[in-house]
């Protein structure tokens, strides 16, 4: 039977974690934290993020001091520059350019929608021919009656059979 060897466990009486720090991590700063801290604490480097007093105790950790990474602002006026933010006057072409572009985009969108539904835009002469064709079709239907009835859903001819006897 295989034998299980239990690993050596280091007991830390002053807290949790390793008792001794390896040499390569000696100079690395460590910020103590508690597992019960809220996630908002992770990005809160300054400690003065919350203007509302209700949230100050809610997201601040009571475990560690937190001043280890505190940022202290030192005023440095030597690199300050004043930048002119005044808007320049646009030319007439620049002012109207967007209006023309929007009109073209709207027209193209309408054309795409028409072709999507298998419709086409016709010039005036073609529209007139289409109107004439529809008018004649209605006229012939009134004059001769509908000889065949079509099922609109499946486009199948419904039951007229003609028997010719000689």
Q: Is residue 16 part of a domain?
A: yes
Using the 3D structure, point to which of 22, 41, 74 is the last residue of a domain. 74
* 19-27 mean pLDDT: 81
Q: Is there a domain that residue 27 lies in?
A: yes
Residue 149 is predicted with a pLDDT of: 59
Give the lowest-confidence range in 16-25, 59-68, 76-85, 105-114. Answer: 59-68
* Residue 151 maps to a domain: no
Does pLDDT of 41 surpass 50?
no
* Range from 41-50, 125-134, 144-153 carrying the lowest mean pLDDT: 41-50
93: number of Cβ within 10 Å: 8
- Residue 157 φ then ψ, to 5°: -70, 130
Domain count, the chain: 2
State the pLDDT confidence band at 132, using cuts at 50, 70 and 90.
very high
First to last CA, the chain: 105
Give the C-alpha separation, 52 to 75, whole Å.
26
pLDDT in tens, 44-71: 555 555 556 665 555 555 555 556 556 6
Q: What is the CA radius of gyration of the chain?
A: 42
The answer to whether 131 and 125 are in contact (CB under 8 A) is no
87 or 166: which carries more pLDDT confidence?
Answer: 87
| 41 C-beta neighbours (distance < 10 Å), count | 19
* Whether pLDDT at 30 is above 60: yes
Task: Evaluate whether residue 81 is within a structural domain.
Answer: no
Q: Answer yes or no: is 149 within a domain.
A: no
15 & 66 share domain:
yes
Residue 65 lies in a domain: yes
Note whether residue 156 is domain-resident: no
Q: What string of H, E and C letters represents the secondary structure of the chain?
A: CCCCCCCCCCCCCCCCCCCCCCHHHCCCCCCCCCCCCCHHHCCCCCCCCCCCCCCHHHHCCCCCCCHHHCCCCCCCCCCCCCCCCCCCCCCHHHHHHHHHHHHHHHHHHHHHHHHHCCCCCCCHHHHHHHHHHHHHHHHHHHHHCCCCEECCCCCCEECCCCCCCC
Domain ranges, residue 37: 11-74
* Separation of alpha carbons 63 and 40, rounded Å: 15
With cut-offs at 50, 70 and 90, classify the pLDDT of residue 90: confident
């Amino acid at each position: 039977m295989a034998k299980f060897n239990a690993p050596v466990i280091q007991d830390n009486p002053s807290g949790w974690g390793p008792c001794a720090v390896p040499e390569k991590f000696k100079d690395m700063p460590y910020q103590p934290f508690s597992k019960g801290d809220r996630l908002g604490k992770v990005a809160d480097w300054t400690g003065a993020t919350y203007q509302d007093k209700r949230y100050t105790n809610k997201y601040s950790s009571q475990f560690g001091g937190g001043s280890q990474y505190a940022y202290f602002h030192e005023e440095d006026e030597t690199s300050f520059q004043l930048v002119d933010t005044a808007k320049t006057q646009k030319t007439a072409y620049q002012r109207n350019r967007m209006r023309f572009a929007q009109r073209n985009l709207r027209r193209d969108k309408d054309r795409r929608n028409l072709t999507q539904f298998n419709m086409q835009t016709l010039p005036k002469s073609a529209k007139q021919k289409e109107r004439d064709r529809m008018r004649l079709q209605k006229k012939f239907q009134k004059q001769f009656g509908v000889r065949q009835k079509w099922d609109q859903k499946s486009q199948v001819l419904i039951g007229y059979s003609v028997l010719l006897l000689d």
